[in-house]
Amino acid sequence: MVYNVTEQKTVDRQVKAVKEFLIRLLKPPVRAIILIDICAVPLTIIALTRFTPESPLSLIAYLLSSYALTVTIVNLKRTARRIRALITGDELAPVRGIKRLMRRHRYTRLYLESRDFRAETALYIWLAINLLFALFKGITGIVNSSAWLFSFGVYYLFLGVIRFVIMLGVQKRNRSKPLYNERKLYEYRVYRRCGCLVMILNIAMSGMAVQMIWQNKANEYSQAVVIGTAAYTFYCFISAIANVISFRRRDNAILSAAKDLNMIGAIMSMYSLQTSMLYAFGKSGEEGFRRIMNTATGIAVLTSALGIAALMIINGTKKIRHYAEKVQKPS
């Protein structure tokens, strides 16, 4: 009896030790998560571009990237909160120095202190990056004789045009400075207009995707295309998630349109990255697998994009009716 009790205590201690190890493995310190992510991305790129899948370095890179993705997702909220605290707080000496410099000038001080100004500045940054990536995709599409890559370049160009429409809406609203109900009515008109433009653009892109999947053309994409697409995709997802967190409580329909547009651009970038990777690193006998993956991901991505656009139109229409009645019959 004494032996059984002692043995049970030993087993309990071992189980507890295993649980604590798994918890530490899945929930490491935030600094460790950031370091793992920083190491995993370049190592994976090197493995994809320099080594074969059977190489030991490739295996290590894939395992590290899988672990990095797992711990990042599991600790996403905690990591985002910590990074935000480091960037916005005064804990780090470089951050304190940058803030002192920013407070010396009007616009940088405004960027530091005003959320709306930061959001509007982000529109300009997104527009510039969007146009540069559209140019990158268009040129690589011409160089690689790929209608698929060129169509993505056109897609991102029109996303840039929609962002330009949002910027004009912000500027017009700021200049006119209408009353609250009039301002909300104008914001939701811009919001619905963007939803209509995105709906038309995604319908056209859906037709192009169906054609490319049906033909199953396999162009030899360069490694620069894949690396450039991967960098843009990671930036899109990080920015889209940050915008969702930042704008979730903001009473600004135009900024909400920008947030939705960022999410659509992020998921489309993921689709573009997948097609580029399958064509760049796939083998000649994998046409069937490539078609299945592109079809499955294409349906999910395009359906999501069309769904977001449809919700923008529906919600925008409801809000327009609501505020139009208030404008006509002020309280």
- So what's the pLDDT on residue 310? 92
Residue 314's nearest CA partner among 196, 179, 201 is 196
- So what's the pLDDT on residue 166? 85
- So what's the pLDDT on residue 1? 47
* DSSP assignment of 125-151: HHHHHHHHHHHHHHHHHHHTT-HHHHH
Flag residues of the chain having pLDDT under 50: 1-2, 218
- So what's the pLDDT on residue 192? 92
Residue 241's nearest CA partner among 222, 266, 218 is 266
How far apart CA 281 and CA 278 sit, in angstroms, is: 6
How far apart CA 317 and CA 20 sit, in angstroms, is: 52
Task: Spell out a b/e string for 170-181, using b for 16 or more CB atoms within 10 Å of the CB, else e.
Answer: beebeeeeeeeb
Task: Spell out a b/e string for 27-52, using b for 16 or more CB atoms within 10 Å of the CB, else e.
Answer: ebebeebbebbeebbebbbebbeeee
User: Is 317 within 8 Å of 172 (Cβ atoms)?
Assistant: no
* DSSP assignment of 303-318: HHHHHHHHHHHHHHHH
Give the pTM.
0.65
Residue 135's nearest CA partner among 209, 271, 234, 232 is 232
pLDDT in tens, 126-144: 788 888 888 888 888 888 7
